[in-house]
Structure 1
Amino acid sequence: MYKKLIVTSLLLLLSTTLLLAQTKYTVSGTVKQKSSGETLIGVTVMVVEKPTIGVITNEYGFYSVSLPEGNYTLRFSYVGYKQELVPVKLESNVTVSISLVDESSLREVVISSKKDNDNLTKASMGTEVLNMKEAAKIPVVFGEKDLVKTIQLLPGVKSNGEGSNGFSVRGGATDQNLILLDEAPVYNASHLLGFFSSFNSDAIKDATIIKGNSPAQYGGRLSSVLDVKMKEGNNKDYQVSGGLGLISSRLTIEGPIQRDRSSFMISGRRTYADLFARLSSDMKDVKLYFYDLNAKANWAINSKNKLYFSGYFGKDVFSVSTLFGSDWGNATATLRWNSILNSKLFSNTSLIYSNYDFNVGFKTNTSAMNFNSHIRDLNLKQDFTWYANANNTVRMGFNIIHHTITPTKAEGTDIVNNKKSRKGLESAVYVSNSWKVSDVLNIDYGLRFSIYNVLGGGLYNIYKGNKLVDSIKLADGKFGKNYYNLEPRISASYRLNSSATIKVGYARNTQSLHLMSNSTGGSPTDAWIGNSYNIKPEIADQFSVGFSKSLNNNAFELNTEAYYKTMANQIDYRDGADINTVPDIESELLFGKGRAYGIEVLLRKKKGILTGWIGYTLSKTERQINGINSNQWYDAKQDRTHDLSIVGIYTLSERWTLSGTFIYNTGNAVTFPTGKYVLNDMVIYQYGTRNADRMPATHRLDISATYERPARKRWQGSWSFGLYNVYGRRNPFAITFKENKTNPQKIDAVQTSLFQWVPSVTYNFKF
């Protein structure tokens, strides 16, 4: 049945393009930045003589457009770059590759990375392309420009708490976000317990977040895709940049290996708060720091083939003398081959490695104990882009991921651990088409077919009502339980007039990896597990409708979207679950369904000396799981009713830029104790309805100022000054409970807050 459905879908997708294919010749090429040779993503290529025909460059800077024989003029435009007009005489297929001049390197006056009317012309929904220059101006804790912190200021994206880099999107949990760095999955995108993200902004070229309505080439998560791409490196000249801050510093070096043909980029970052802490006699044995390294190299074999290699390594270290120590981190590597097979067909082949692990150790005079876990992936991915004609762009491909998952296991002096790694094979094939039906109607549609195979090498227990009923031991290399899912996606935009568009969309996503966590924000010791005989793939169906409008000659942009999402096979712990010492965590799990719905509003000012945005989200997220809350609906732990963010960036003069952010959000849903009793001299708290209580609301104002020093020959420098939490609001990080000292019958709630005021000073340089 599945084979027939796939074949039918492929025929439907391709028949449209074949029927409409009436062109004779194709002009194609690559667009780069003139000063560095970096390829540019999302450049608009328009045909002046046919203003309704146009394309944008893909994620590798490639474009292709087919036209009848004749003379044309191509207009290349990209915000912040000088527009170029190129005459083309089409008598055969031709290649036109150009380099655009970066005007913002002379004077940065634009903060938007998008075409002025992208929100009107594209069918994609819930998609935001982030600008790294804009992110650099937004004040954050410790003054470190942060990609993930910027994402959390967008509607529909919710921070998981004060100081946390975890986020939830449209009611999804932290693990339901697919985070990619040069196509490699990043399983924990935070440093220093969530105060920094894993992404060094100096090494990042482009970042896009897609909230649920992702194209068919993405899969494996329910809620969102954060697709981050590293810089390729300057192939024209050598360049050094970096920054010195109060608790961290960073350095980036890039340049040509062979001028105009190959280049490299290396970027490193480290915190050094632990070095200052050691000046105190009480803290001399404490270690608390992180470091990370990004590296990338590319080589143009010829005009049609290019090789890339990129890698990332990050590690956090926390220890107290020799008694306690912990470290965790990510490592990724991507080997990619881009090939222009012909003027209409572009190929990208990738071999990807990803690893996340953590280790925690305790030691006494007589014993030692270690906890460790990891997830390791090997991924083969093939993607084709076919520019069928001026109105149809088809993407198709496949990917195969081999997962090796080692659950949290304890090893020690008096412990014999028999836990083994579990393995799974996650595969998918997909096809999609971006179809420009007319001047006012655009449709993106596609289909993804995903498979998850439980592989041998471990023991799988089968539970019914949390009671063990059977066990299956699979030998290495053997296939066990198999799961198959079809994932259709479609979105459409209809242009009402020159300044307004309505959009609708539907997408099904599935997820076969699950993060076992009992907190909202997550921690490094949270463990991933795959599908099993008890755990089925999570499934989400999202319906959305939106309205976009440009105002005041594109100076303002208004985007609103409403969504309704249903979720199947959701996972939660049973009441009283023992997740730290239980031999098999699956015995503590319950399964059910969920729903999330809401409305998002984004008003953005894109032009002038004052730019920024106001984002607001009104939403609800619930779960219904048999065995919890008498089988009734209850609030999910990431449920928050209101989220408001206000961002302003004001260009005071050629040298000074001021910026500020204000955020307000409803507190997370939590479960507080309703009573207590004493058993064997131990105080045991009794809890009521799951997530029936709320943390206090969070609100905060942050400000910063940036001073650009006059350039001296090749040296460019700037100072950034910031104050996090201007009015000293004590926002909740955690709430704990203890017995009242004067009245043992009462329980006191104690709120822990992290930061009241955090000043920051950073010096950035480039030469």
Structure 2
Amino acid sequence: MKYIIFLFLFILAATKGSLAQDSFTINGVVTDSLSGETLIGVTIKFSNKSQNGTSTNVYGFFSYKLDPGDYTMTVSYIGYRTFSRSITVDSDKRIDINLVPENSIAEVVVTSEKRNDNVVSAQMGIAKVNLSEIRNVPVIFGERDVLKTLQLLPGIKSAGEGNSGFYVRGGSADQNLILLDEAPVYNASHLLGFFSTFNSDAIKDVSVYKGGMPAQYGGRLSSVLDIRMNDGNKKEFTAEGGIGLISSRLKLEGPIVSDKSSFMISARRTYADAFLAFAKDESIRKNTLYFYDLNAKANYQIDKKNTIYLSGYFGRDELGLNETFGFDWGNATSTLRWNHLFSNRLFSNTSLIYSNYNYVIENFIEENNFKVSSSIRDLNLKQDFQLSLNNSHNVRFGLDLIDHTIAPGSITSNERSSVNEETIEKRNGNEASAYISDEWEINDKFNIVYGVRASSFFLRGPGTFNLYDSQGKITNSQIYSRGQLVKSYFRFEPRLSASYLLNGVSSLKVSFTRNSQNLHLMSNSTASSPTDLYILSSNNVKPEVADQVALGYFRNFNDDKYEFSAETYFKTMQNQIEYRSGTDLRGNRNVEADLLYGEGRAYGIELYIKKRFGKLNGWIGYTLSRTERRFDALEQGKWFFAKQDRTHDLSVVGIYKAGPRWTFSSTFVYNTGNAVTFPAGKYQINNQTYFYYSARNSDRMPDYHRLDLAATLEAKPGKKLQSSWSMGFYNVYNRKNAYAINFQDDPDDSSKTQAVKTTLFGIIPSITWNFKF
């Protein structure tokens, strides 16, 4: 921590020295002229200055230092008309810009912040999704889905059909940090993974970091998915939404105080359960199957230097079977933020964040009545600063404090039930971290982003804490009082990304990132599920640590119309977790006794080519990779494939603007099947068949592939109402992709074995009416 304090003092000293120079600062906020929404990543350039210029941060703020004189200020952003004006710099100035949308530009679905940002920026391993454009990508049930779109990018792999989980560069699903307005979301799925929790109507910006993670992010090994909600329209009241086959959505937004304050509220609900009412079987009519979610946000600009934001999300899933079984789960988050401008070049954001994820399972059968509940709750205080030290240095630094409370599980029942009540002790932990990073433009060709994150973790009482040996036996047990320190860890996490501009259209980039993780997912499944449990680092479980090195070549063609990149990476992972054979995670007071610890590695190459402008747009993404694990207690200590290993992963996306009203699109995906363990033989005891298995994860599920088609018809514009029809077919050629394969005796000959394949979806049509007024 003393090193971080020293760096803070260095920044303050450097700031004091730079303020004495004979120059002035231009700063301001860039917004959408129609809605008043702040715009992220807008490019601002001044005549006779470096081509890199500056850009707006996640709150639309920019700052740039200029010598006295006359300049032409140019502001550009994909999808908006370029803004230019002449300015005279003779004092510090605040210049707020309203950009006008350019509806005539046919934009691509996934885009960088500016036309050549992918080449000149030092940041690598980042992708941004423009939410106004994902309506053209075909998805299951026709429901616009941010996570499903991200999984079409190289290096980001779907966890499987009917699952919103994803893997990034060899990491498991829990090694992704998912943030919604800075609040962590622990289970980002609805209906057991068929939908994600993110209603695209409520979102304005999505960034995913899969390599070269900036120092302001931490706590997960593989990636950060940073999602920002709409602030709300400050100009006028609007309503928009959509009505589909199984779900509908509605968003309302408008000014509270014109040009100073606004609100946004967005709701979505499925009505799959409504169709159950038409079933002839009464037992089916009593089933329950639906989800709903609600996004809300409000902001108030106190003055030019202070703005307050309050946002929240609440979502819930309900699943019930004929009044015999009930299962519900959901997330709740809230974020209170204060933006403050200390000076023309020092920007501050203070955030108070709450996040809660919980689930409840109920059995209503009287003699076996019980209820199981589990939760994880976070309270988080963040302080972030952004300092434009000068035109060559953009410094970020801050602090992050998190309080974790995990209730692993409790079982309650009525007095007539045969199920015993049980409660597993809660666990409490604190994370504290400080970071500093500098984006340094060394010259016109060489840019770097370097920094460090110092993170610490403290496990605290109350509770009974055990120590286990390598065989899972208790060697020591100690009781700790409330707040008493049980175990602490400290990690030093350096970060570096650098780019070298070979010429005006191509560059080389390199990055190194170290991350640590103190929350660990307990799951026996191949992907995240609503009943997954989390545990904290402890005196048995050490923090997971990952080091990743990446190298990339980036090139644009034909006036930035085409973009190409090739990135290769190598990642090592320490303190990875597996389970002993036969481990039961539910209601297990001593789950740490059944854990094994080892190491992992992942490496691969990602190829990406994209056409960004014109009538026909789209991209091809391909990943060739390998992901492995090694544990002393498994497979004689040899390396074996991790369950998320896939050799080949291919995505092809095409979007064709046929005219002013028709847009056609298609998606083709192919990937090698997941690594699994199949039976190598069987034997019988007392006429009961038992299977014995081959080496861990030495087999493969069948290869997965699918073609989707979609079309969107824009209705003729009316005076107030704008609408469109989106139609599509998921899995056009009705491929029976395997969801699971189970093995059983052949009913006609028990000496033979049958492999039974379970599939989820064949061809699925969809149609949705979207509207806005």
TM-score > 0.5, shorter chain as reference: yes
| Distance across 2 between alignment mates of 1:209 and 1:110 | 17
Which residue pairs with 2:655 in the alignment?
649
SS at match of 2:51: strand
The match for 2:410 is 409
Q: Can you list the C-alpha shifts for 1:87-134, whole angstroms capped at 9, x where unaligned?
A: 222222110001010112x66555545311011110001000111133
- Worse overlay, 193-202 or 72-81: 72-81
Corresponding position of 1:610: 616
Q: What is the rounded CA distance, in whole Å, between the counterparts of 1:19 and 1:732 in structure 2? A: 64
Are 2:247 and 2:270, in contact at CA under 8 Å, matched by a contact in 1?
yes
Matches within 5 A, 1:60-209: 60-104=59-103, 108-109=106-107, 111=109, 112=111, 114-209=113-208
Alignment-derived partner of residue 291 in structure 2: 290
Name which of structure 1's ranges 309-318 and 12-21 shifts more when overlaid on structure 2. Answer: 12-21
Cα distance in structure 2, aligned partners of 1:48 and 1:689: 64
The residue that corresponds to 2:212 in the other structure is 213
Residue 179 (structure 1) shift: 0.2
Structure 1 residue 11, shift from structure 2 partner: 6.8
Write the distance in 1 (CA, Å) between the matches of 2:157 and 2:544: 21
Does 349-358 or 461-470 show the bigger shift? Answer: 461-470
Relative to structure 1, is the Cα distance of residues 677 and 12 closer, same or farther in structure 2, using a 3 angstrom cutoff? farther
Distance in 1 between the 2:584 and 2:670 partners?
Answer: 34
Shift of 1:52: 3.5
Task: Report the more deviating stretch, 731-740 or 711-720.
Answer: 731-740
Q: Are 2:203 and 2:227, in contact at CA under 8 Å, matched by a contact in 1? A: yes
CA-based RMSD of the aligned residues comes to: 1.6
Q: Secondary structure at the match of 1:148?
A: helix
Whether 2:427 is the aligned partner of 1:422: answer yes
Match 2:480 to one of 452, 469, 474? 474
Q: Which residue of 1 aligns with 2:365?
A: 364
Residue 311 of structure 2 corresponds to 310
Instruction: Name the counterpart of 1:399.
Output: 400
Supply the distance in 1 between the matched residues of 2:713 and 2:595 (Cα, whole angstroms): 54
1:581–1:304 Cα change, 3 Å:
closer
Seen in structure 2, the aligned counterparts of structure 1 residues 409 and 744 have a Cα distance that, compared at 3 Å, is: farther
| Candidates 621, 629, 634, aligned match of 1:628 | 634
Deviation of 1:461 (Å): 1.7
1:684 aligned to 2:690?
yes
Cα distance in 1 between the residues matched to 2:371 and 2:751: 39
Confirm or deny: 8 A CA contact 1:501 1:547 kept in the other structure.
Answer: yes
- C-alpha distance 549-434 of structure 1, shift in aligned 2 (>3 A): same
CA contact (8 A) 1:13 1:433 kept: no
Partner of 2:386: 385
Deviations 1:474-532 (A, max 9, x none): 21111110000000000100000011100000000000001111112221111111111
Q: Which residue of 2 aligns with 1:460?
A: 465
Moved more, 403-412 or 240-249: 403-412
Equivalent in the alignment of 2:266: 267
**CA drift at 1:410:** 2.7
Q: Which amino acid aligns with 1:457?
A: P
Alpha-carbon distance, 1:637 to partner: 0.4
Give the match for residue 549 of structure 1.
Answer: 555
| Aligned-pair CA distance for 1:156 | 0.1
The answer to whether 1:754 aligns with 2:753 is: no
Q: CA shift at 1:15, angstroms?
A: 8.0
Distance in 1, Cα, partners of 2:338 & 2:620: 41
Instruction: Indicate how the Cα distance of structure 1 residues 301 and 8 shifts in structure 2: closer, same or farther if over 3 A, else same.
Output: closer
Query: Are the equivalent residues in 2 in contact too, given 1:23–1:66 (CA < 8 A)?
Result: no
Q: For residues 11 and 256 of structure 1, do their structure 2 counterparts lie closer, same or farther at Cα, with a shift above 3 Å needed?
A: closer
Trace 1:212-361 onto structure 2 (pairs within 5 A): 212-282=211-281, 283-361=284-362
Number of corresponding residues:
764
Could you tell me how far 1:275 is from its partner in structure 2? Answer: 0.5
Cα distance, 1:243–1:206 mapped onto 2, change above 3 Å? same
Q: What residue is the counterpart of 2:523 in the other structure?
A: 517
Shift of 1:583: 3.1
Alpha-carbon deviation of 1:136?
Answer: 1.2
Kept after mapping to 1: 8 A contact 2:409/2:423 = no
Q: Is the 8 A contact 2:176 2:220 kept in 1?
A: yes
> Which 4+ stretches in 1 moved above 6 angstroms?
11-21
User: Deviation digits for residues 261-288 of structure 1, max 9, x if unmatched?
Assistant: 1000000000001101221032201111
1-structure distance, mates of 2:14, 2:695: 53
Shift of 1:418: 3.6
CA distance in 1, matches of 2:545, 2:170: 14
Q: Secondary structure at the match of 2:761?
A: coil
8 Å Cα contact 2:73/2:87 also seen in 1: yes
What's the CA shift string for 1:579-599, capped at 9, x where partnerless? 345432111110010000000
Call closer, same or farther: CA 1:574–1:86 in 2, change over 3 Å: same
Give the secondary structure class of the aligned counterpart of 1:274. helix
Identity %: 51
CA distance in 2, matches of 1:13, 1:667: 50
> For the structure 1 residues 747 and 387, does the alpha-carbon distance in structure 2 shift closer, same or farther, using more than 3 Å as the test?
same
Matched, 1:44 2:64: no
Q: Tell whether the 8 Å contact from 2:372 to 2:412 is kept in structure 1 after alignment.
A: yes
Counterpart of 1:445, as a letter, is Y
Q: CA deviation at 1:329?
A: 0.5
- 1:237 aligned partner, one-letter code: E
> In 2 relative to 1, CA 250–402 (structure 1 residues): closer, same or farther, beyond 3 Å?
same
Q: CA deviation at 1:743?
A: 1.7
> Can you list the C-alpha shifts for 1:160-189, whole angstroms capped at 9, x where unaligned?
111211000000000000000000000000
CA contact (8 A) 1:9 1:447 kept: no
SS of 2:330 mapped into structure 1: strand
Shift of 1:680: 6.3
Report how far residue 369 of structure 1 moved: 1.6
CA contact (8 A) 1:243 1:763 kept: yes
Question: Greater CA deviation, 460-469 or 752-761?
Answer: 460-469
Partner of 1:451: 456
- After superposition, the Cα gap between the structure-2 partners of 1:53 and 1:598, relative to the gap in structure 1 and judged at 3 Å, is closer
What does residue 442 of structure 1 align with? Answer: 447
Q: In structure 1, what is the Cα distance between the partners aligned to 2:290 and 2:185?
A: 20
Give CA-to-partner distance per residue, 1:191-226, whole Å, 9 cap, x none: 011010000000000000000321000000000000
TM-superposed CA distance for 1:707, in Å, is 0.2
SS at match of 2:141: helix
1:411, distance to aligned residue in structure 2 (A): 2.7
Name the residue aligned to 2:58. 59
Q: Distance in 1 between matches of 2:89 and 2:135?
A: 43
Matching residue's letter, 1:240: A
Q: In 1, distance between residues paired with 2:361 and 2:752?
A: 36
Contact 1:579 1:588 in 2 (8 A): no
Give the distance between the partners of 2:684 and 2:732, measured in 1 at CA: 44
* Distance change in 2, residues 1:679/1:524 (3 Å): farther
Tell me, yes or no, if the aligned pair for 2:79 and 2:105 is still in contact at 8 Å.
no
User: 1:435 deviation in Å?
Assistant: 0.3
Moved more, 49-58 or 141-150: 49-58
Instruction: Tell me, in whole angstroms, the C-alpha distance in 1 between the residues paired with 2:153 and 2:195.
Output: 18
Number of the residue aligned with 1:735: 741
* Alignment partners' CA distance in 2, 1:247 and 1:548: 42
Q: Give the structure 1 partner of residue 670 of structure 2.
A: 664
Please state how far the C-alpha of 1:12 moved relative to its aligned partner. 7.3
In the alignment, structure 1 segments of 5+ residues that lack a partner are none
Distance 2:32 2:512 in 1: 36
Whole-angstrom distance in 1 between the partners of 2:637 and 2:12 = 46
8 Å Cα contact 1:13-1:432 kept in structure 2: no
2:514, 2:546 within 8 Å by CA — same for their partners in 1?
Answer: yes
* 1:367 CA displacement: 2.9
Shift of 1:8: 5.7
Does the 8 A contact of 1:79 with 1:110 survive in 2?
Answer: no
Asked whether the 8 Å contact 1:212–1:222 carries over to 2, the reply is no
How far 1:10 moved relative to its partner?
A: 5.3
1:53–1:390: 8 Å Cα contact kept in structure 2? Answer: no
**Which is worse superposed, 613-622 or 269-278?**
269-278
State how far apart, in whole Å, the 1-side matches of 2:305 and 2:65 are.
18
AA in 2 matched with 1:416: E
Post-superposition Cα deviations, 1:315-338, rounded to whole Å, max 9, x if no partner, equal 001001221000000000000000
Q: Secondary structure at the match of 2:353?
A: strand
Q: Secondary structure at the match of 2:734?
A: coil
In structure 2, list runs of 5 or more residues that go unmatched. Answer: none
On the 8 A contact 2:411/2:423 being kept in 1, the answer is no
